[in-house]
């Protein structure tokens, strides 16, 4: 793909479109190390905005950041049986360091439960130390065979929350609370609607009691697991001896939770809002929210237009907006538009001689539509346009998801729905809860249970029988083909 060629249309090859869109926006690049990506400044700037918003939400809910070692002794990973089974096949292992072979190999963290709970065991003495609410921003390594920029890479950036609680109810409350935080972030910041619910045993985190997830539907009708929270029960506390003295003087194991989102979210943002021109950034996460492009053909026009454009950019910046002024010489406006559109900038303000004369700017939305904004009310007008864009992106994504969600599916409908390259969407149906049906459905349709949906998302009336075996349903499930 080059600028001249444009990018692959989504309808032609969604996967190629995704790569083209990411490349065109200069969000990331492949590196010489297999499966590892370079996050370029345009992509990292989105991540910084995501981090800022999430970090404030974590702190507002009482969490504090800390940092734990990158390396985990191999024996630590093995202390929790399910955990090692889940992660051992995909770890990178340091066997030599400082010119010598290590006595015990070190695993590069694929997640940090084991190394963090070893510290918790030292820090927690009594019920007064609980709850302990910690978050870590870190890099993670999982050796993946098939990688895609942001969506699945050998190394990625994430945050992992790790908490310890006195009892099951408090751990459960925390796991649900952070699921709500993730949902709020996805919807209010990313304009990416999600459904929430619990994972089945086969899809839960290795070592967890229960896993909850937010799941979004991408434009190719495949689901993206965008964040998970885990009630880890007392599994890790037992493995690492994390005990506390109760108020009554007894000794109990703590209850842990962990929860994480990663740079994968950037892939979700691209696949939720992008179009055949490239990515579209929701205003709240756009590194550049507004680009101001002055338009002139003569020096006289330039003398009138440029100061007006500079003034507009200055006023918007002063109001706290993220603004670029593109006054490059020797480049046609159309070429500039093309470049900023590819970067997903939500709002472009064009200022030509006629606009100056009318004391206005012409505002072009990245998602289509042009309208003048009077210079007298510039800041308020731009802010209103951005707010409206943020709202309409969420609304459009929600409508697309609903249009591609089917409730009360039968076995035949489920198979039909998931067949073919374009097939997919969210299929709601009754589920007996058996691992056998779950496996059979996956085998037949490549769809997996994304969640056992939370009440808000459940169908009414509830499905009575299992989509697959026809036995009485234990509840409802949402199936989709997933990233």
Residues that bind a copy of itself in the complex, under the rule CB under 8 A: 29, 31-33, 36-41, 44-45, 47-48, 64-73, 76, 88-99, 105-106, 108, 115, 118-119, 122, 134, 138-139, 141, 143, 145, 155, 157
The residue among 159 and 390 lying less far from a copy of itself, judged by its C-beta, is 159
The residue among 145 and 248 lying less far from a copy of itself, judged by its C-beta, is 145
The residue among 286 and 427 lying less far from a copy of itself, judged by its C-beta, is 286
Q: How near is the Cβ of 36 to a copy of itself at its closest, in Å?
A: 4
Q: How near is the Cβ of 136 to a copy of itself at its closest, in Å?
A: 9
Quick count: other Cβ atoms within 10 Å of Cβ 130? 20
Q: How near is the Cβ of 188 to a copy of itself at its closest, in Å?
A: 24
Residue 333 C-beta-side C-alpha neighbours within 13 Å: 13
Quick count: other Cβ atoms within 10 Å of Cβ 292? 24
Q: How near is the Cβ of 196 to a copy of itself at its closest, in Å?
A: 29
Q: How near is the Cβ of 428 to a copy of itself at its closest, in Å?
A: 36
The residue among 213 and 242 lying less far from a copy of itself, judged by its C-beta, is 242
> Which residues are CB-neighbours of 254 under 8 A, at least 6 positions away?
120, 124, 130, 164, 165, 166, 234, 237, 242, 243, 244
Q: How near is the Cβ of 127 to a copy of itself at its closest, in Å?
A: 15
Strand (E) positions, 142-201? 155-165, 195-198
Query: Which backbone phi and psi does 75 adopt, to 5 degrees?
Result: -65, -25
Beta bridge mates, 406: 427
Q: Is 207 left (phi over 0), alpha (psi -120 to 50) or beta?
A: left
Which position has the token pair 């697991």? 225
Q: How near is the Cβ of 122 to a copy of itself at its closest, in Å?
A: 7
The residue among 52 and 374 lying less far from a copy of itself, judged by its C-beta, is 52
Reply yes or no: is the peptide bond before residue 85 cis, omega within 30 of 0: no
The residue among 79 and 165 lying less far from a copy of itself, judged by its C-beta, is 79
Whether the CB-CB separation of 284 and 54 falls below 8 Å is answered with: no
Q: How near is the Cβ of 310 to a copy of itself at its closest, in Å?
A: 19
Whether the CB-CB separation of 144 and 154 falls below 8 Å is answered with: yes
Whether the CB-CB separation of 35 and 147 falls below 8 Å is answered with: yes
Which position has the token pair 């507004």? 290
Q: How near is the Cβ of 289 to a copy of itself at its closest, in Å?
A: 16
- Rounded CA separation 478/66 (Å): 36
The residue among 66 and 371 lying less far from a copy of itself, judged by its C-beta, is 66
Mapping DSSP to helix (H, G, I), strand (E, B) and coil, where does residue 451 land?
strand
Q: Which of 409, 449, 417 is nearest to 433 (CA)?
A: 449
Which position has the token pair 């599916």? 409
Mapping DSSP to helix (H, G, I), strand (E, B) and coil, where does residue 263 land?
coil
The residue among 9 and 52 lying less far from a copy of itself, judged by its C-beta, is 52
The residue among 96 and 332 lying less far from a copy of itself, judged by its C-beta, is 96
Q: How near is the Cβ of 92 to a copy of itself at its closest, in Å?
A: 4
Query: Which backbone phi and psi does 180 adopt, to 5 degrees?
Result: -65, -40
Tell me the residue length of the chain. Answer: 483
The residue among 222 and 336 lying less far from a copy of itself, judged by its C-beta, is 336
Query: Which backbone phi and psi does 258 adopt, to 5 degrees?
Result: -140, 155
């Amino acid at each position: 793909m080059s600028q001249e060629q444009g990018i692959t249309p989504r309808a032609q090859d969604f996967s190629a479109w995704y790569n083209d869109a990411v490349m065109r926006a200069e969000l990331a690049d492949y590196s010489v190390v297999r499966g590892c990506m370079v996050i370029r400044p345009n992509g990292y700037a989105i991540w910084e905005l995501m981090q800022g918003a999430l970090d404030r939400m974590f702190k507002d809910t009482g969490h504090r950041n800390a940092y734990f070692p990158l390396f985990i002794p191999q024996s630590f990973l093995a202390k929790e049986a399910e955990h090692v089974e889940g992660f051992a096949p995909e770890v990178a292992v340091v066997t030599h360091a400082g010119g010598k072979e290590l006595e015990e190999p070190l695993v590069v963290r694929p997640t940090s439960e084991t190394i963090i709970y070893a510290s918790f065991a030292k820090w927690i003495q009594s019920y007064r130390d609980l709850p302990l609410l910690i978050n870590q921003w870190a890099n993670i390594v999982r050796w993946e065979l098939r990688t895609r920029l942001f969506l699945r890479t050998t190394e990625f950036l994430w945050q992992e929350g790790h908490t310890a609680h006195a009892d099951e109810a408090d751990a459960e409350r925390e796991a649900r609370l952070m699921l709500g935080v993730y949902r709020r972030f996805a919807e209010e910041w990313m304009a990416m609607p999600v459904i929430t619910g619990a994972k089945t045993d086969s899809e839960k985190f290795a070592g967890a009691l229960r896993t909850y997830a937010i799941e979004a539907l991408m434009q190719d009708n495949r689901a993206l697991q965008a964040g998970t929270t885990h009630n880890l029960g007392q599994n890790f506390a037992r493995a690492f001896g994390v005990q506390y003295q109760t108020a009554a003087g007894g000794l109990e194991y703590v209850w842990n939770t962990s929860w994480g989102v990663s740079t994968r979210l950037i892939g979700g943002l691209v696949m939720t809002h992008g179009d055949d021109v490239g990515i579209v950034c929701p205003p709240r996460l756009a590194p550049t929210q507004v680009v101001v492009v002055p338009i002139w053909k003569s020096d006289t026009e330039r003398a009138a237009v440029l100061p007006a454009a500079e003034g507009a950019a200055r006023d918007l910046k002063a109001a706290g907006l993220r603004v670029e002024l593109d006054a490059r010489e020797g480049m046609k406006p159309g070429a500039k538009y093309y470049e900023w559109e590819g970067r997903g900038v939500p709002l472009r303000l064009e200022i030509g001689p006629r606009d100056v004369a009318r004391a206005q700017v012409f505002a072009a939305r990245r998602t289509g539509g042009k309208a003048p904004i009077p210079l007298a009310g510039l800041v308020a007008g731009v802010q209103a346009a951005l707010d409206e864009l943020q709202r309409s992106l969420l609304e459009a994504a929600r409508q697309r998801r609903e249009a591609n969600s089917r409730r009360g599916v039968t076995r035949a409908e489920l198979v039909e729905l998931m067949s073919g390259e374009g097939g997919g969407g969210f299929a709601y149906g009754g589920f007996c809860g058996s691992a056998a049906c779950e496996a059979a459905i996956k085998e037949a349709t490549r769809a997996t249970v994304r969640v056992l949906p939370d009440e808000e998302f459940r169908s009414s009336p509830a499905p009575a029988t299992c989509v697959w075996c026809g036995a009485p349903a234990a509840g409802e499930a949402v199936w989709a083909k997933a990233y």
